[in-house]
Amino acid sequence: MGAPSLGPCRGCGADMLWVATVNGKMQPLDPEPDAAEGSVIVVAADVEVEGQEEPVHRLALAASYLTEKGRQKAAQANVRLYTPHHMTCPKNQDRRFNRGG
Ligand SMILES: [Zn+2]
C-alpha cells in the first residue's frame, strides 16, 4: 500500500508514475528518471493525501520539487531526478514551467 502507481496520460497515453507530493497533491511524473531535465526527487515520506471526504495519512513516495541549486546538487550526488509529465507530454499545450511553483 502507498506504492506509486502507473497510469496512462489522458493526453498522449504514455505511462506516468503517480506519486503524492509533500503537499498532498497527486503529481504524475515520467517513469524514467532524467538527470539532465528532472526537477523532482522522490522520497519516502508520511504524506497527508486528499481523500474522498477527509485527508488520508499514509506512508507514500512523495515528490519534492527542487530549486535549480538543489537540482544540481542532487544530480552530482547521482540522486534520481524525475520530470513532471506535463513537462514532456506532447499533447500538453502549455509546457511553460514555473520553477517557483
Ligand atoms: Zn501525456
Q: pLDDT tens digits for 48-94?
A: 767 778 877 766 677 788 898 988 888 888 889 999 999 899 988 65
Looking at the domain assignment, is residue 18 inside a domain? yes
Task: Count other C-beta atoms under 10 Å from residue 60's C-beta.
Answer: 25
User: What would the grid cell of residue 63 be?
Assistant: 515528490
Q: Cα–Cα distance between 100 and 70 in angstroms, integer?
A: 13
What distance lies between CA 15 and its chain's CA centroid?
Answer: 13
Looking at the domain assignment, is residue 97 inside a domain? no
Looking at the domain assignment, is residue 57 inside a domain? yes
Q: How many domains, in total, are found in the chain?
A: 1
Per residue in 7-62, pLDDT (tens digit) is 999 999 999 998 888 777 888 999 999 988 898 988 777 777 677 788 777 666 77
Name residues with Cβ closer than 5 Å to ligand 1, which is an ion. Answer: 9, 11-12, 14, 89
Can you give the residue range of the structural domain that contains 68? 5-88
Distance of CA 52 from the midpoint of ligand 1 (Å): 25
Looking at the domain assignment, is residue 99 inside a domain? no
DSSP 60: E
Distance of CA 22 from the midpoint of ligand 1 (Å): 23
Alpha-carbon dihedral angle through residues 61, 51, 14, 2, given to the nearest 10 degrees: 30
Q: How far is CA 9 from CA 13, 18, 37, 57, 81, in A?
A: 4, 10, 20, 26, 20
Distance of CA 29 from the midpoint of ligand 1 (Å): 10
DSSP 16: E
Looking at the domain assignment, is residue 100 inside a domain? no
Distance of CA 70 from the midpoint of ligand 1 (Å): 26
Looking at the domain assignment, is residue 96 inside a domain? no
Distance of CA 7 from the midpoint of ligand 1 (Å): 11
Looking at the domain assignment, is residue 28 inside a domain? yes
pTM: 0.70
